[in-house]
Amino acid sequence: MNKIFKNRYLILRRLSQFTILFLYFAANYWGWKILIGNLSFSKLFNTIPLTDPYAFLQMLFAGAIISSNLIIGLVVILLFYGIIGGRAYCSWVCPVNLITDLAAWVRRKTHHEKDNLLSAMKIKKFRYAFLVIMLIFSAVIGAAAYEFINPIGFFTRGVAFTLGFTWVWLLVIFIFDAFVLKNGWCGHICPVGATYALIGAKNLIRVYHTKDNCTNCGNCFAICPENQVLSPVITKKDDFIHGIECTNCGRCIEVCNDNALKFSLRNFIKGEKNEKNSSN
Amino acid sequence: MDRRTFLNNLIQLSAATTAAGAVVAGFAEENKDKPLTLRPPGALPEDEFIKTCIRCGLCVEACKNRDNKMIVNGKEIDTLFLAAPGDKAPIGTPFFIARTGPCFMCDDIPCMYACPTGALTPKECQNDKGEVAIDYAKMGVAAIDPSSCIAFWGLQCTACYRACPELDKAITIEWKQNKRTGKHAYRIPVLHEEYCTGCGMCEMACVTEKPAIKIFPREVFLGKAGDRYVKGWDVKDQQRVKKASTKTTTKTPWSKKNPIQNLNQGVNWNE
C-alpha cells in the first residue's frame, strides 16, 4: 500500500497515458466515440475538438487555410494547459514519455546517468530554436515539416491505425535517450514539448517547495527529467517551481522523504512578494 | 557569461538547429512527393492537401466504422489507411490501395464529412451545379493496359465493366469484329474519364494476375490538350477556348514566307 502511495502520481500518469492510447485504438477498431483521432487532432465525445498547437502553428506557416474546428480545438487546449495543466501534456498524455522514462530508468540502472555523448549544457536551448526553425522550414516546403518525423504522431497513429516501421523511429529515440544524452529527446529536442512549456508558463497548478522540511538529500534532482527547474528553488526558499519546463509529473513529490514538496495552486501576488522578500 | 562565449554559443546553436532542421525538412520534402498516392473522396489538390491534412485519422476511423461494410470470404475489406513509415504515401496521411481495398462509394461519404480541417471537402466532390454526391468524386482515373487486358486478346471478360459503380457510364463495352477467327467479337472496355470517380472497384475486379486496369491520380494520368486544339463540332469545347490568348510564344522564329512558298520550297518546277 505504501509503495502504491509512494508512486501515486506515476501510477495515475501511466493510467492516463494508456487510457488515452486505448481510447484512440477503440475508436478506430470498435467505433467508440469517446476520444477519436490521435494526438495531432482529436474529438472528445465526438464534439469537442482538440488541436495540437504545434501542428496548428506549422500549418499556419505552411499556408494552409485554417478551419474553425482547428481554432476551437486550439482554444480548448490553450485554456486547459494555459490555466490548469502547464506542461502536463508531456508527462500525463504524451506516449513518447513512456519510452523516454524507460530510457531514463535504464540509465539509472546501468549507472551511467551522467555519461553523455553530447554536452547537455550546450544544447539546453536547442528545442526552442528547433521549434522556430521547423516553422520556417514548414513555410519553405509548404507542409507541416516536423509532422513528418513527430514521434508523438507516429506512436499514436501506430497504436490506433497502422504500425508499419514506426517502431524503428521509436527505438532510435529510446537509444538516443538511454545512451547518447540524458533526457535527450523530451528535454532538449522535442518542439512540441517546448510549445507546451511556453503555453503553460503561467498556469496555476505547480509544485510547491517548503524550505524548512528540505534536508538537501538530492533525491528530487536525481529523478527530475528537467532538473534545471529545481535548482533556483530547492534548499533556497519557500516557493513554487516556476521554471516553464516543469512537466508537473510529480516524481519529485514521490521521491521526497521529507514532505518538502507538494502540488499546490500558484498565487501570483504571494509569489511576487516572496521574491521581493528573498531578494531583500 | 561574457560576450565571446555568448556569441560562440549563439553560432553553435544556430548551426545545430539549421543542420537538424534542414535534415528534417529535406526528409519531409522527399517524403511528401509521392505522386501515385490515391486520396479519399473530396480531397484537395495534392499540394493543398499535404498542407491542410493534420493527420488525425478521423477519415480513416469513419471509413473503418462505415455502414456498408464489405466482407469478402469472411474478411472485412478496409479501404482507407493512415500511412505509416514504409507505406507508399506521405507519412500520416490517408490513402487507399485500389487492388486490395477500393473505395466502396458510400452514399453518405462519411470520410469526407469527418474531416475537421477541410483537407477533404464537399467542394471537391460536386458537379457543375454544386450538387454533392459520391458520384462526383475525383479520387483518380482508371487506365487500361491493352497488352495485358484479355478482352483485347479476344477473350470474354467484362469484369471491370460489371464491377463499375458508374455502370455503363465510366466504362462501356465496344464491340468489334475479331478478324483472326472471323466469327467472334472483341468486347473491348472503353473508359470515359468524365464519369470515372477513381474508386478502384474495376482494379480489384480485374481477373489478370497483375491488374490490366489501374487507378492513377488524375493529375498523373490525364493529359491536357491546351488552348491550341479545339473540338470544332462541340459548342461546350469552344467555350473552353473562348478566353484563350492569341499571343503564343515559340522557341524558333516564325517563318516570314507564306505557307504556299514554304510548301513549294526545294522543288524545282522547271524540270
CA distance A206 to A242: 8
Residue B241 lies in a domain: no
Task: Say how many C-beta atoms besides its own lie within 10 A of residue A125's C-beta.
Answer: 14
Task: Say how many C-beta atoms besides its own lie within 10 A of residue B29's C-beta.
Answer: 16
Q: What is the pLDDT of residues A227-277, one digit of tens each?
A: 888 878 777 788 888 888 888 888 888 888 888 888 888 766 554 544 444
Instruction: Say yes or no to pLDDT of A96 above 70.
Output: yes
Q: Do A143 and A222 share a structural domain? A: no
pLDDT at A243: 83
Domain termination residue (choose one: B204, B221, B238) = B221
CA distance B103 to B38: 10
Q: A25 CB near a chain B CB, below 8 Å?
A: no
On chain B, the residues whose CB falls within 8 A of the CB of A169 are: 85
What angle (nearest 5°) sits at the alpha carbon of residue A67, between those of residues A65 and A72? 140
Q: Do B125 and B33 share a structural domain? A: yes
Which residue, chain included where needed, has cell 516546403? A141
Domain termination residue (choose one: A158, A182, A198) = A198
Query: Quick check: A134 and B21 CB within 8 A?
Result: yes
Query: Cα distance from B136 to chain A (closest Cα, Å)?
Result: 23
| Nearest Cβ partner for B85 among A42, A138, A165 | A165
Residue B57 lies in a domain: yes
Q: Do B202 and B180 share a structural domain? A: yes
Domain termination residue (choose one: B104, B130, B156) = B130
Q: Do B74 and B37 share a structural domain? A: yes
Q: Give yes or no for a contact between A141 and B25, defined as CB atoms under 8 angstroms apart.
A: yes
Query: Cα distance from A220 to chain B (closest Cα, Å)?
Result: 28
Q: Do B99 and B70 share a structural domain? A: yes
Q: Do A123 and A7 share a structural domain? A: yes
On chain B, the residues whose CB falls within 8 A of the CB of A139 are: none
Domain termination residue (choose one: A171, A198, A225) = A198
Q: Do B146 and B51 share a structural domain? A: no
HEC readout, chain B: CCHHHHHHHHHHHHHHHHHHHHHHHHHHHHHHCCCCCCCCCCECCHHHHHHHCCCCCHHHHHHHCCCCCCEECCEECCCCEECCCCCCCCCCCEECCCCCCCCCCCCCCHHHHHCCCCCECHHHCECCCCCECHHHCCCCEEEECCCCCHHHHCCCCCHHHHHCCCECCCEEEEEEEECCCCCEEEEEEEECCCCCCCCCHHHHHCCCCCCCEEEECHHHHCCCCCCCCCCCCCHHHHHHCCCCCCCCCCCCCCCCCCHHHHHHCCCCCCC
Query: Quick check: B28 and A162 CB within 8 A?
Result: no
Q: Do A238 and A168 share a structural domain? A: no
The count of structural domains within chain B is: 2
Q: What is the pLDDT of residues B83-123, one digit of tens each?
A: 888 888 898 899 999 999 899 999 889 999 989 998 999 98
| Nearest Cβ partner for B82 among A36, A157, A168 | A157
Full residue range of the structural domain in which residue B40 is found: 25-130
Q: Do B119 and B155 share a structural domain? A: no
Q: Do A255 and A170 share a structural domain? A: no
Q: Do B164 and B94 share a structural domain? A: no
Residue B101 lies in a domain: yes
Residue B12 lies in a domain: no
DSSP symbols for A64-81: PPPPHHHHHHHHHHHHII
Full residue range of the structural domain in which residue A40 is found: 2-198
Q: Do B107 and B74 share a structural domain? A: yes
Phi and psi angles of residue B66, each rounded to the nearest 5 degrees, phi first:
-75, 170
Query: Quick check: A161 and B87 CB within 8 A?
Result: no
Q: Do A151 and A233 share a structural domain? A: no
Q: Do A210 and A185 share a structural domain? A: no
Task: Say how many C-beta atoms besides its own lie within 10 A of residue A231's C-beta.
Answer: 12
Q: Give yes or no for a contact between B193 and B87, defined as CB atoms under 8 angstroms apart.
A: no
On chain B, the residues whose CB falls within 8 A of the CB of A37 are: 56-58, 61
Residue B1 lies in a domain: no
Query: Quick check: B51 and A49 CB within 8 A?
Result: no
Chain B's closest residue to A124, CA to CA, is B13
Domain termination residue (choose one: A198, A232, A257) = A198
Query: Quick check: A164 and B92 CB within 8 A?
Result: no
Question: Tell me, what CATH number does B166's domain have?
Answer: 3.30.70.20
Q: Do A121 and A221 share a structural domain? A: no
Q: Give yes or no for a contact between B216 and B174, defined as CB atoms under 8 angstroms apart.
A: no
| Nearest Cβ partner for A28 among B64, B87, B91 | B64
| Nearest Cβ partner for B51 among A40, A62, A148 | A62
Q: What is the pLDDT of residues A101-115, one digit of tens each?
A: 898 888 888 866 666
Q: Do A117 and A225 share a structural domain? A: no
Amino acid at B54: I
Q: Do B112 and B150 share a structural domain? A: no
Strand ranges of the sheet holding A205-209, from the earlier edge strand across to the other edge: A239-240, A205-209, A261-265
Domain termination residue (choose one: B109, B130, B151) = B130
Q: Which residues of chain B have pLDDT under 50?
A: none
The count of structural domains within chain A is: 2
Q: Give yes or no for a contact between A35 and A21, defined as CB atoms under 8 angstroms apart.
A: no
Q: Which long-range contacts (CB under 8 A, 24 or more apart) does A101-110 make?
A: A101/A225, A102/A174, A102/A178, A103/A173, A103/A174, A103/A175, A103/A176, A103/A177, A103/A178, A104/A177, A104/A178, A104/A182, A104/A183, A104/A225, A106/A178, A107/A177, A107/A178, A107/A182, A108/A222
CA distance A198 to A86: 9
| Nearest Cβ partner for B17 among A51, A129, A168 | A129
- ipTM for the complex shown: 0.82
- Would you say the C-alpha torsion B66, B68, B69, B70 has a positive or negative sign? negative
Chain B's closest residue to A71, CA to CA, is B117
Q: Do A184 and A215 share a structural domain? A: no
On chain B, the residues whose CB falls within 8 A of the CB of A162 are: 81-84, 87
Q: Do A68 and A8 share a structural domain? A: yes
Q: Do B153 and B126 share a structural domain? A: no
Q: Do A120 and A8 share a structural domain? A: yes
Q: Do A140 and A260 share a structural domain? A: no
Q: Do B207 and B161 share a structural domain? A: yes
| Nearest Cβ partner for A149 among B27, B48, B82 | B27
